[in-house]
Amino acid sequence: MNSAAPASGIIMDRPPERFARGWHCLGLADPFKDGKPHTIEIFGSKLVIFQQQDGSLAILDGYCPHMGADLGTGQIVNGAVACPFHGWEWGANGDCVHIPYSSRIPRKAKTRSWPVMEQNQQLFVYNDPEGNPPPPEVAIPRIDDVMNGECLPWEWQTLHIPTNCRELVDNAADATHFYYVHGWSVNRFVNIFDRHMATQNAWFEARKDVNFGEVETSDTDFSFASSATYYGPAYMIVNQTADYLGKPVELYLINAHYPVTPNSFMLHAAVTTKRVEGVSEEESIALGRSFGKAAIDAFFQDIDLWKAKRRINNPILSEHDGPIYQLRRWYEQFYVDVADVTPDMVERQEIDMDLSVPLEMWKKDQARIVADQSA
């Protein structure tokens, strides 16, 4: 007997069983360069990360193909990772390079080596269910301000989220949630989908009735511009600029994730600010940390919602919601074989939302709340 469809028509669909094709950020690179192998749970399995003799990092499948031991509990020997069970050593290319009790290495003694990239002081691994190498055009871009030493050190946080990672990606096209979740009116909101990139350009203004902690907004008109781009399915660079009390503030926020299972992911949220010209180093650091903390706090406001919500395949949208369906069609390219990517997944689209009605309603809402607070 067929089960009845829900009266609402909403489809609570299952997440895909395969994992997205593309570069995935594993965090800052330096913590992996401590002379020890590191195991991470990712893509439904385990990988092992270790440093080679030339200082670069390598990534292999996490289980020894000899007898299945966890290579992350072994040690690094001459730039190879040695299994804790029988001492077999595995090089960066996946070949067994030494068996301490045998003069002959079996021809089949190989394991999977994963493509690795270091960029912006961070470590990336490339996943492709078809086994193809990463195309050069999808490489993670360099943030010059970070690499040239013009920014403060990264403030980095990592959190395990028990839901499918599409819930996070939806935010890139969700204009109206900024008002209700983060306390910002959205004056303009533009999405651009182009090949493997999805950009959100937005201009925000702080609500007068919301407390932003260290960032004072109640007695001044505080606004900022934000440009956020996904480079592939799992790594977003956000650049935000603001003029606060006459001082220019610019920050970079990293919104990155990698899937642990189809129903969970590791979230990386990091922020750095450019040193502020015309002020002391101490004041520059204080301003940067203040705005950096506000940015991270806002980012984490979504987490409780993600944990409690369901994955809905066909959301009912109003005329003033963002281009969620277009974003999801763009996102789908990373979950199909390359031969099955269709033009509508990768062709350039630019969508500039009409926010005149929401803005008028938000102004009335803020006036009502401020009046109630003053009563």
Q: Tell me, what's the pLDDT at 371? A: 85
Domain holding 152, by residue range, is 144-369
- Provide the pLDDT for residue 245: 65
The pTM score is: 0.92
CA angle, 174 then 257 then 80, to 5°: 165
- pLDDT of 275 reads 85
DSSP 181: I
CB 171 within 8 A of CB 186: no
Separation between Cα atoms, residue 213 and residue 211, nearest integer Å: 6
> Which of 108, 138, 168 is the endpoint of a domain?
138
Closest CA to 215 of 150, 286, 269, 279: 286
Q: Is position 13 within any domain?
A: no
Both 210 and 325 in one domain: the answer is yes
148 to each of 121, 214, 229, 237, 345, how far by Cα in Å? Answer: 11, 29, 21, 17, 35
Q: What are phi and psi of 39, to 5 degrees?
A: -100, 135
Question: Is the same domain home to 202 and 88?
Answer: no
Whether residues 174 and 87 fall in one domain: no
Q: Do the domain assignments include residue 1? A: no
What is the rounded CA–CA span in Å between residue 73 and residue 46?
12
229 and 260 assigned to the same domain: yes
- 280 shares its domain with 203: yes
Residue at which a domain ends, from 138, 161, 195 = 138
Q: Which two tokens stand for residue 11?
A: 């489809």
Tokens of 96: 């067994």
Which tokens sit at 334?
A: 């990373």
Residues 109 and 28 in one domain: yes
Kindly state whether residue 339 falls inside one of the protein's structural domains: yes
Residues 113 and 260 grouped into a single domain: no
pLDDT 10s digits, 87-118: 999 999 999 999 999 999 999 999 999 999 99
Query: 339 and 354: one domain?
Result: yes
What does each of the 375 residues of the chain score in pLDDT, given as a tens digit?
333 445 455 565 677 789 999 999 999 999 999 999 999 999 999 999 999 999 999 999 999 999 999 999 999 999 999 999 999 999 999 999 999 999 999 999 999 999 999 999 999 999 999 999 999 999 999 999 999 999 999 999 999 999 999 999 999 999 999 999 998 999 999 999 999 999 999 999 988 777 665 555 555 567 889 999 999 999 999 999 987 667 788 999 999 999 999 999 999 999 999 988 877 888 877 877 787 788 788 888 898 888 888 888 999 999 999 999 999 999 999 999 999 999 999 999 999 999 999 999 999 998 898 888 887
For residues 150 and 12, what is the distance between their CA atoms, to the nearest angstrom?
A: 46
Supply the CATH number for residue 66's domain: 2.102.10.10
Rg (CA), the chain: 23
Domain count, the chain: 2
CATH at 202: 3.90.380.10
Is residue 374 in some structural domain?
A: no
DSSP annotation of 154: P
Point out the domain boundary residue: 138, 171, 198.
138
Same domain, 173 and 300: yes
Residues 178 and 122 both lie in one domain: no
List the one residue out of 320, 294, 343 whose CA is nearest residue 175. 320
From 26, 39, 33, select the one nearest 69 (Cα to Cα): 39
Calpha distance 356→360 (Å, rounded): 6
